[in-house]
Amino acid sequence: MIVTIPDLITPEELAYMRQVLEGTEWVDGRVTAGSQAVKVKNNLQLPIESQTAQELGQIVLRALARSPVFTSAALPLRILPPMFNRYDVGMTFGAHVDGSIRALPGTGQRLRTDVSSTLFLTPPEDYDGGELVIHDTYGAHSVKLPAGHLVVYPATSMHSVTPVTRGSRWGSFFWTQSMVKDDWQRTMLYDLDRSIIRVREEMEDDDEAVVGLTAHYHNLLRHWSDV
């Protein structure tokens, strides 16, 4: 399931993040790549432990907490601290699948990466190339969103970033361990949740149809969740 979330962050948050990123130092993105990804990764990143990455990551996390669509799509149990990357002219990231397990910095705990997310921080008219290409059972999907928009997709998906040929593409990326690790089950719950919202717009909350659908949603979540 691929879900796009418009305007996850506000224009004010976006402007502040851009201002901070303009004055920061970037490092080779391969420092966080696995043994396979390191061979196809060519970009820049903020150091994970930097104060800038931690401050901006908190902005992203607060935005996620106020997004009902992200909650519905990802069903988050734990979210890794958001990271930040940059693709200048000639930079790219070849086809790869994200590592299945990552360590939570400073905790010694490990997190299963069920859901991948990319937050676009650069307007699409400011650069050429740099599309996020996600492969699923229905083919390849090219994603290039307005600044401030988020795309959420299964971490099991093969994906890549096409070479940037003009300008610079900046973004934030992170992984979520979901309460429901199976993507098909998450998709069913997401579709059911969206349907419940539409039904509630037409009926009272105590209507038999609303109560029944809501009960099925929570019983399925209870049955499928790892919590």
How is 104-127 classified by DSSP, letter by letter? PTTT--EEE--EEEEEE-S-GGG-
CA distance 41 to 47: 16
Q: What is the pTM of this model?
A: 0.94
102 contacts 113 by C-beta, under 8 angstroms: yes
pLDDT of residue 34: 64
Angle at 183 between CA 42 and CA 72, to 5 degrees: 95
Please give the class, per CATH, of domain 3-178.
mainly beta
Residue 71: count other Cβ atoms within 10 Å of its Cβ.
Answer: 13
| Alpha carbon distance 81, 83 (integer Å) | 6
* pLDDT, tens digit, 9 for 90 and up, residues 59-94: 999 999 999 999 999 999 999 999 999 999 999 999
Instruction: Indicate the residue type of 223.
Output: H
* Mean residue pLDDT across the chain: 95
Closest by CA position to 57, among listed 80, 35, 24, 89: 80
